[in-house]
Structure 1
Amino acid sequence: MQTIQIVFLTVLVFFLLVSIHEFGHFYFARRAGILVREFAIGFGPKLFSIKRGETRFTLRLLPVGGFVRMAGEEPEVVEVQPGQTVGVRLKDGKITKLYLDRLDERSNIIRGEVKSLDLEKEMFVSLDVDGDEQRYGLHPQAMIVSRGQETQVAPLERQFGGVSTGKRAMTIFAGPMMNFVLAFVLFGVYLQLSGVPVENSTKVFVSGLEAGMAAEKSGLQKGDWIKKVNGVPVEGDSTRLVEQIQASAGKPMNWVIERDGKEVSLTVTPDAETGKVGIYLSPEMRRAGIGETIRFAGTTMVDMTGRIFEGFRKLIFGEFKLDDLGGPVRTAEMTGQIAKQGIPQLTSWAAVLSLYLGIFNLLPIPALDGSRLMFIGLEAIRGKPVDPNREGLIHFIGFAMIMLLMIVVTYNDILRLVKN
């Protein structure tokens, strides 16, 4: 049961981090009026799909990220050309369905040859119906039906490139921003769960146990208050307690602990070689106040941000080996190990991962949000967008390189697991 719980918590952490990031893109795209075609968690083949409103929400096979597919970011899959025979269904004089195939099976449609059309600006389709040219307006939410799939048309003002550079920049930045917000909240939650040490505390508690070690075998439990060791009161001095344990390597020790208001006497024998009993200690804790929580979350984010950039610096200057890098497998492994330590530790780890994800996505690497923000900024300075084909090619190359690196580090992770 514990293994199932740890796997569930590990998957939950990844799902939360990716979902909150993509929700940032999704929410601000909707606020900007951009048509969001798909909100996806994962890449590769679809495992689950459901459509709500204009957006299809999908869960995909490879849990290595996610994406929000917005109209106009890439060429539309469905194209309609002059000379093509189509069928249209009208409502209040406007086209609501545009059928490209299986026309003989459609009922209540007008069939004709496309003479001219504009599906983005003027929003119309002109058809030759039995030698008579008819012009029909296109409903802004009309569907193009082809091969059993429906694709909603996207007027120019509802495409990603059709809104202002400011709205586009906010839509892209919102993903990392939501990771920063989540990290701040999770650091605060961690402090609320773990508490802060009581000043001048006279108590030392068991905060955790290592499986199979002497402390666990003796019957010690998480939350026990350690009152005496070999007749000597501990009185909140955890340093002296550790020294006592190390000095008694291989020798039985008498511990008096308090559990549920009752004193219990236990015999604990430290390991003869290491002088350890496999125990984590903590002082008496109290609940943190709101001000303390906000300050802790803020200072911890600043501190961890510095450590993350220091890691980037070492990576750039070759102070890391390839074997030091970890991919999804190693991250999942570490998350599982931390989940065993308890919810507070997992919460803190999730906050670190969320902060890292936000910072990493803002790096000016092609295919990441940072690179896309650079192109938007360049457009704002130049007054005209970069050639979409060139930008698309750069992002594609960047994505391919990231996927290649992901394969290499994942292969390394699997080799390491096999060797261990």
Structure 2
Amino acid sequence: MAILSFITGYIIPFILVLSLLVFVHEMGHYLVGRWCGIRSTAFSVGFGPELLGFTDRRGTRWKISAIPLGGYVKFFGDEDAASLPDASGLQGMTEEEKAQTLAGAKLWKRAATVAAGPIANFILAIAIFAVLFSVYGKVVADPVVAEVQPDSAALAAGVEPGDRLVALDGSRIRTFDDVRRYVSVRPETPIVVTVERNGQDIDLPMIPKRTEITDQFGNKVELGLIGIVTNEERGNFRVESFTPLQAVAEGVTETGHIITGTFRYIGNLVTGRMKADQLGGPVRVAQASGQMATLGFAAVIQLAAVLSVSIGLLNLMPVPVLDGGHLVFYAIEAVRGRPLGAGAQEMAFRIGLAMVLSLMVFATFNDISNLIG
């Protein structure tokens, strides 16, 4: 019974969410590639042995494979699913056939085809947020201080109940979400909080404290806090409604916040302000999918939007075997006037694969450590 509950509560939501994101990502590659005249021989959701599939009239094999941790589009002339060109095969092709391969297409067509995957993930996230905001609106709270916690950065800086936060490091804010989003990724980083008090703006320098909190599911998360309680946390908030066009604009803004927050997190990892054990892998994603499933369909879809942005950003990393690595190769080709040699590309792909596998192992180790910790 426990195993069945684990499968239905965690594994199935995880597979459904990840499969949707992979399908959209690979469909971006496929559609733009097809538009550019590049043939595809396989479209797979998942890796490994094929579970089921069919071949369409264009010769593309559409399939679902056994390992649901990714997917790929294999283009005509590719040696493998990572789009490494088949050098020997290309030599025996006619010019017309070469033009239908990814390696033989014009540079801009190759770049567009490769970039289309991550872009599709960003578009999906914007669309999901737009639909959610259109249907449910957005819960917001004004950044008015209801209480200042003892022994906090806010108390030390002189924040008082009734103050309204109006700017962070000179940038104007509108809701408490703006405050939370800005402060959480800046632990132990000096910031200037501008508050409005008695009709006057007052600048209050402070340093958010690195704090470990436990969410409603028992997960421990480390972030920066300044120690204020708002009316939102006392149940006083409002729901903003949006027209469809406004919802799309808000979806773009929300997606942008996730992107900038991700880069800030990576910067904190590099500078040591955040611990690397916050980096999660497939186990943590499965856990999060199951937890969100208990909150309802809207929560699962919102998680899908966040993960879609993450997948798009991950694939844009300048690492061979990822889309970003291909784009780097194309940039080098544009500068040199000719592509890198087959041997150099193959070596780079092997190094890139080792890097990706190492990252997956590290993230999975973190996941398991958090589960048994």
* TM-score, with length taken from structure 1: 0.59
Residue 159 of structure 1 corresponds to which residue in structure 2? Answer: 101
Residue 169 of structure 2 corresponds to which residue in structure 1? Answer: none
Structure ranking higher on relative contact order (CA contacts 8 Å, 6+ apart): 2
Change (3 A) 1:46 1:319: farther
Q: CA separation in 2, counterparts of 1:2 and 1:192?
A: 33
Q: 1:394-420, CA deviations, whole angstroms, 9 ceiling, x for partnerless residues?
A: 022211221122123223323432x26
Task: State percent identity of aligned pairs.
Answer: 34
Residue 380 of structure 1 corresponds to which residue in structure 2? Answer: 334
Q: Which has the larger radius of gyration?
A: 1
Q: CA separation in 2, counterparts of 1:172 and 1:284?
A: 42
Residue 319 of structure 1 corresponds to which residue in structure 2? Answer: 273
Q: SS of 1:366's equivalent?
A: coil
Q: 1:224-266, CA deviations, whole angstroms, 9 ceiling, x for partnerless residues?
A: xxxxxxxxxxxxxxxxxxxxxxxxxxxxxxxxxxxxxxxxxxx
Residue 180 of structure 1 corresponds to which residue in structure 2? Answer: 122
1:306 aligns with 2:310: no
| Count of residue correspondences | 273
Change (3 A) 1:298 1:286: closer
Task: Please identify which structure carries the higher helix content.
Answer: 2
Residue 60 of structure 2 corresponds to which residue in structure 1? Answer: 55
Change (3 A) 1:181 1:363: same
Letter in 2 for 1:412: N
Letter in 2 for 1:120: M
Change (3 A) 1:401 1:286: closer
Q: CA separation in 2, counterparts of 1:62 and 1:179?
A: 21
Q: CA separation in 2, counterparts of 1:298 and 1:58?
A: 32
Aligned match for 1:410, one of 359, 364, 367 = 364
Q: SS of 1:160's equivalent?
A: coil
Q: SS of 1:162's equivalent?
A: coil
Residue 247 of structure 1 corresponds to which residue in structure 2? Answer: none
Q: Any conservation in 2 of the 1:179–1:354 contact (CA below 8 Å)?
A: yes
1:332 aligns with 2:291: no
Q: CA separation in 1, counterparts of 2:310 and 2:356?
A: 16
Change (3 A) 1:343 1:55: same
Change (3 A) 1:61 1:408: farther
1:121 aligns with 2:94: yes
Q: Any conservation in 2 of the 1:189–1:347 contact (CA below 8 Å)?
A: no
Query: Superposition RMSD on alpha carbons, in Å?
Result: 3.1
Residue 45 of structure 1 corresponds to which residue in structure 2? Answer: 49
Q: Any conservation in 1 of the 2:11–2:286 contact (CA below 8 Å)?
A: no
Q: CA separation in 1, counterparts of 2:357 and 2:44?
A: 17
Aligned match for 1:291, one of 245, 251, 257 = 245
Letter in 1 for 2:288: M
Q: Any conservation in 2 of the 1:6–1:340 contact (CA below 8 Å)?
A: no
- CA shift for structure 1 position 175: 0.3
Q: CA separation in 2, counterparts of 1:371 and 1:59?
A: 26
Residue 82 of structure 1 corresponds to which residue in structure 2? Answer: none
Q: SS of 2:332's equivalent?
A: helix
- CA shift for structure 1 position 193: 3.2
1:358-397 matches, within 5 Å, as 358-397=312-351
Q: CA separation in 2, counterparts of 1:281 and 1:38?
A: 52
Q: Any conservation in 1 of the 2:269–2:276 contact (CA below 8 Å)?
A: no
Residue 220 of structure 2 corresponds to which residue in structure 1? Answer: none
Residue 349 of structure 1 corresponds to which residue in structure 2? Answer: 303
Q: CA separation in 2, counterparts of 1:411 and 1:159?
A: 39
Q: CA separation in 1, counterparts of 2:234 and 2:283?
A: 27
* TM-score, with length taken from structure 2: 0.66
- CA shift for structure 1 position 347: 1.9
Change (3 A) 1:72 1:415: same
Q: Any conservation in 2 of the 1:10–1:339 contact (CA below 8 Å)?
A: no
1:12 aligns with 2:52: no
Q: CA separation in 1, counterparts of 2:370 and 2:22?
A: 26
Q: Any conservation in 2 of the 1:193–1:344 contact (CA below 8 Å)?
A: no
Q: 1:285-312, CA deviations, whole angstroms, 9 ceiling, x for partnerless residues?
A: 5753123312311221222221111111
1:71 aligns with 2:76: yes
